[in-house]
Structure 1
Amino acid sequence: MSNTPPDRLSVDPDSPFHDEAVLARGVGVRFNGNEKKNCEEYCVSEGWVRLAVGKTLDRKGKQLTIKYNGTVEPYFEDIPKES
């Protein structure tokens, strides 16, 4: 497996961008230089993340998310970070 996270990844099992093997390694996301723990989905090439909003659910029973544009830097948590 590569040491580079995929360009697009989702934690939703119904999404075509869901990858259980990659998520099992632990993927962290830096968005505009800040660590985000509530990231539901990201896309590096398009420059956006979907962040969970509280405990609010949408009409399908999934957690409500908001899409933000900016710089996305995914990384694997099992690889030491460069300082």
Structure 2
Amino acid sequence: MMAHAEAMSQTPPAVTDELSARLLEALGPAALIELTAKVAFMNMSARMNVALGIHSDGFADACRLPPLEEPATTERSSRH
């Protein structure tokens, strides 16, 4: 399931027919649609937050996990 979410989140999306077929077999059509819709909504929300300059409240810091990726430094983000 995470592979599907990660593939959907790439630019451009990298979901393959094989990945979709494996998930369809494992989850069934309704769950595959629900998973895909949820990932799409979360991606839309994240992109909107970035575009509006809305930043994390730091809740993930409590997990003490290193970030998967460091945010890119841009002229716009360095002004905030």
TM-score range, shorter chain: under 0.3
* TM-score normalised per structure 1: 0.24
- Report which of the two has the higher share of strand: 1
- Report which of the two has the higher share of helix: 2
Larger Rg: 2
